[in-house]
Structure 1
Amino acid sequence: MKVIGLTGGIASGKSTVSQYLREKGAAVLDADAIAHALAEPGGSIYCAYRSHFGDGILQSDGSLDRAAIGKIVFADPAEKEWLDKAAHPLIQAEIERQLAVEKQREVPLIVLDVPLLFEAGWDKMTEENCLVDVSEMVQLKRLMQRDGYDEQAARARMAAQMPLEEKRRRADRLIDNNGDLPATLRQVDRLWKEWTHDGFSQ
C-alpha cells in the first residue's frame, strides 16, 4: 500500500478531499486531529504549552484556551517558532506510531492529512505528495465566507502559510479545486485508481 501526503492552503478544500478518500476506504491520519488529542489535558502538547506559557492559557475547566494561545503566537513570531518546534516532534511521533499500526492492516491506501506537510518536513514520510490547489482569489473568497474574516484578516492568515506556488513546486500531484465539487471528486477518483491500482470505483 502507498502512503500519500495530502496538503493544501487554508480554505483550499483539503478536508473535503480527505473525507472522500476516507469514504473510499483509505486510512486517513489527520495531523490536526492528532494535535488536538495531544492538546487535551494530560497530553504531551498540553503539558509543553502549560509549562511554557503558564496557567494563563488555561480555561476555567483546565483545558487549553486555544484563542489565547493563538493571539500570543500570531502577534509574536518568536513564540510561533517556539510553538512549532515544541509541537511538531510530538505530533510526528504520534503520526509515526499510527502509521506503523496502519501498515499492519489491510487498507488500500494510507493518507497523511497534514496542512503543514512541507513546512514540517513530513513529506519525507510519504511516497507521493498531493496538493489540493486553488487560486489565491478563490482561497480568499472561501476563507472570508467560511470564517467570517474581513479581507485584511483573511490575507494575513494566508500570508502566514507557505505560498501556494512553492507548494505546487514541491507536490507530485495537484487536485484543481477551483471548480465545483463533482469536478474535484472526479480527479480524486482517477488518483485513487492510480494509487491503489483499482480499476473499479468504490
Structure 2
Amino acid sequence: MIRLGLTGSMATGKSTVAAMFAKRDIPIYDADKAVHDLYEGEAVPVVGAHFPDAIMDGKIDRKALSKLVLGDKEKLAQLEALVHPLVHQKMHEFLAQNQRSGETLVILEIPLLFETGKDYPLDKIAVTFCADEIQKQRALAREGMTEEKFEAIKARQMPQSEKKQRADFLIDTGLSPVETQQVVDDVIKTCRQLVND
C-alpha cells in the first residue's frame, strides 16, 4: 500500500485536490478534520487543562484557542505537543484499517507536513501549489481572513518553492479543474504502478 502525503501552503487547493482523489475512491485521512473531531471529544480535557479559556460548551473553541496561541511560539509549541500525539494515533488507526481492507493507495492530507518536523510514515509526497497572487486572492476570500492574518500564517509556513523541491509529485491548482483532475489521475496511476512493480 502506497501512503501518499498531500500537503501545500494555505489556499493552494489541498482540499480541492483531496476531493479529486476522493472522487476516485481513494481513502483520505484529513489531519485538519482529525483535529476538528478531537477538539469536540478526546482533546477537550487535555487542552482544557492548559488552555481553560479555550473551552466553550464542553468543546474547544478554535477561534478562542487561536487568539491564545497566535504569535506566541511557546504556547503554540505547548499546544502542538498536546494535540499531535492524538492526531498521530488517529492516523495510525486509519492506516491499519486500510491495510487490512487491501487498499493499494491512501492519502494522508497533512497541511503542515514539513513545518511540524514530525516523522510521518509516507512513501511519497504530493504538493499542491499555485501562483502567489492566486494564493493571496483565495486566502483573502475566506471568512475572517485579513491581509495581516494571511501574512502571519504565510510567515510561519515553508515557502512554496521549498515545498516543491521536496515533492515527488507537483499538483498545479492554477490550472482548470479538468486539467488538475488529469494530474491527480496521473499521480494515482503512477502510485498504483509502484505497488505492482
Alignment counterpart, residue 103 of structure 1, candidates 99, 106, 110: 99
CA displacement at 1:148 relative to structure 2: 5.1
Residues 76, 167 of structure 1: CA spacing in aligned structure 2 closer, same or farther, 3 A cutoff?
Answer: same
SS of 2:59 mapped into structure 1: coil
The answer to whether structure 1 residue 84 and structure 2 residue 80 are counterparts is yes
- The separation in 2 between residues aligned to 1:114 and 1:71, in whole angstroms, is 22
The answer to whether structure 1 residue 3 and structure 2 residue 3 are counterparts is yes
- The separation in 2 between residues aligned to 1:30 and 1:136, in whole angstroms, is 24
Alignment counterpart, residue 187 of structure 2, candidates 186, 191, 196: 191
Alignment counterpart, residue 52 of structure 1, candidates 50, 56, 72: 50
Runs in 1 of length 4+ with deviation above 2 angstroms? 119-124, 146-153
Which amino acid counterpart does residue 126 of structure 1 have in structure 2?
Answer: L
2:89 is matched with 93
What per-residue deviation string (whole Å, max 9, x for no partner) do you get for residues 41-93 of structure 1?
Answer: 3x0x2222101112x2221x221121110001113221111111221122112
SS of 1:125 mapped into structure 2: coil
- The separation in 1 between residues aligned to 2:166 and 2:20, in whole angstroms, is 23
CA displacement at 1:105 relative to structure 2: 0.8
Residues 124, 76 of structure 1: CA spacing in aligned structure 2 closer, same or farther, 3 A cutoff?
Answer: closer
CA displacement at 1:26 relative to structure 2: 0.8
For residues 167-186 of structure 1, what are the structure 2 equivalents within 5 Å?
167-186=163-182
- The separation in 2 between residues aligned to 1:29 and 1:89, in whole angstroms, is 15
SS of 1:137 mapped into structure 2: helix
Are 2:6 and 2:125, in contact at CA under 8 Å, matched by a contact in 1? yes
- The separation in 1 between residues aligned to 2:112 and 2:25, in whole angstroms, is 24
SS of 2:157 mapped into structure 1: coil
Which amino acid counterpart does residue 57 of structure 1 have in structure 2?
Answer: A
Are 1:88 and 1:120, in contact at CA under 8 Å, matched by a contact in 2? no
Alignment counterpart, residue 129 of structure 1, candidates 120, 125, 131: 125
Residues 49, 124 of structure 1: CA spacing in aligned structure 2 closer, same or farther, 3 A cutoff?
Answer: closer
Alignment counterpart, residue 150 of structure 1, candidates 146, 149, 157: 146
Are 1:28 and 1:111, in contact at CA under 8 Å, matched by a contact in 2? yes
CA displacement at 1:176 relative to structure 2: 1.1
TM-score (normalizing by structure 1): 0.88
TM-score (normalizing by structure 2): 0.90
RMSD: 1.8
Query: What percent identity do the matched residue pairs reach?
Result: 33
